[in-house]
Structure 1
Amino acid sequence: MDKILTAVEGEPTMEHISNPYNPSVLTFPNLEIRINEQIIYHDNHPVPLTHHEFFTLLYLAQHPSWVLSKEQIYEAVWKENPEHCGAAVANVVYSLRRKIGDAYIETVVGSGYKFQIV
């Protein structure tokens, strides 16, 4: 047992090992999401986003091609019970589309939204 303890004593703990599947930058054609800086670049230009816009886009981009309901998005971004989400998510998606175009966020009628890699 002492040999095992001595062998693992100098090994790094799990919190010090970086996760290669959790990058700090998500890159898509003409779109870069810098997670740590909370900024996006569209066509190599910075695009100012509100807190909810940034984290809605990030949540969708982290789940490409998944259909996510307004309630799922609201719960993940606003961190609140989605029972009264109303038009909040729809308004944020509308605002994102005005800023980065329609190509990235698709509406799935009756279900929600999904991020498309263009």
Structure 2
Amino acid sequence: MHLLLVEDDPMLAAAVCERARQAGLCIDHARDAPAARVALVDHAYSAILLDLGLPGESGLVLLQGLRAAYDATPVIVLTARGQMSERIAGLDAGADDYLVKPFDFDELWARLRAVTRRSEGKAVPVLTCGDVRLDLATQRVTRAGTPVTLSAFEYRTLLVFMERANRIVTRAQLETLIYGDGSDIGSNTVAVFIHQLRRKLGERIIETVHGQGYVLRKESA
């Protein structure tokens, strides 16, 4: 089992990672939402242990984004917020289970086993555009059956377009969806990613709509 822990408290994170490794589990640690997104692009995790009280973007927003992107990875919310409303918000956002800090590690491992068992057999969509295929479960992209290697940000850019096929996406929308709010983004960064996607997946896959933004046409490839 390969886990991702998203937790900003260094002492708690160190304790969870140590106990996980003692239990024979593989675990990675991300201290905030942006770091978690990068890790999720690079790896397919068995489950995510998610703190709600992250610095900057909350864990709740991260969870909502994962589910909106059809990421069905099981999520257990770890939070010091004991109010019932917070627990309900986490479950409504797509969490599979929750534990209130401090928690017993044996109970955490048992809940992990339970949510991963329940997740088996869940259908995760595959997005397609012509001969380009994006598998949301494995985050694997192919063109005409041939694997295509994308960087983390290239993958996110493609995902944004494929989820919004035939709809114009502005540069400002792209920046927010790919990087989140408050990022320092170069003026031509988005254009560079789009250029790379065209080079790897076909010049016609993303069309420039002058004065408005970009669009991925479903019939294109």
User: Which of residues 120, 128, 131 is equivalent to 1:27?
Assistant: 128
> How do 1:1-118 residues align onto structure 2 when only pairs under 5 Å count?
23-81=124-182, 84-118=185-219
Instruction: State the TM-score, normalizing by the size of structure 2.
Output: 0.42
Return closer, same or farther for 1:74/1:114 CA change in 2, 3 Å cut-off: same
SS at match of 1:27: strand
Distance 1:63 1:114 in 2: 8
Deviations 1:78-109 (A, max 9, x none): 11337845111000000100000112100011
Q: How many residues are matched?
A: 102
In 1, Cα distance between equivalents of 2:151 and 2:125: 19
Identify the range of structure 1 (55-64 vs 82-91) with the bigger mean alpha-carbon deviation: 82-91
Q: Secondary structure at the match of 1:77?
A: helix
Tell me the alpha carbon deviations over residues 40-68 of structure 1, each in whole angstroms, 9 at most, x when there is no partner.
01011000000111111111110111111
2:124–2:137 contact (8 Å) kept in structure 1:
no
Q: Percent identity?
A: 26
**Letter aligned with residue 61 of structure 1:** M
What is the TM-score when the length of structure 1 is the normalising length? 0.75
Give the structure, 1 or 2, with the largest relative contact order (CA under 8 Å, sep 6 or more): 1
Native 8 Å contact 2:128 2:162 kept in 1: no
**4+ residue runs over 2 A deviation:** 13-16, 80-85
**In 2, are the aligned partners of 1:65 and 1:116 still within 8 Å (CA)?**
yes
SS in structure 1 of the partner of residue 128 of structure 2: strand
- The question of whether the paired residues in 2 share the 8 Å contact of 1:68 and 1:112 is answered with yes
Decide which moves more: 29-38 or 90-99: 29-38
Segments of 5+ residues of structure 1 without an aligned counterpart are 1-12
SS at match of 1:60: helix
Aligned partner of 1:10 in structure 2 is none
Structure 1 residues 29 and 117: alpha-carbon distance in aligned structure 2, compared to 1, 3 A threshold: same
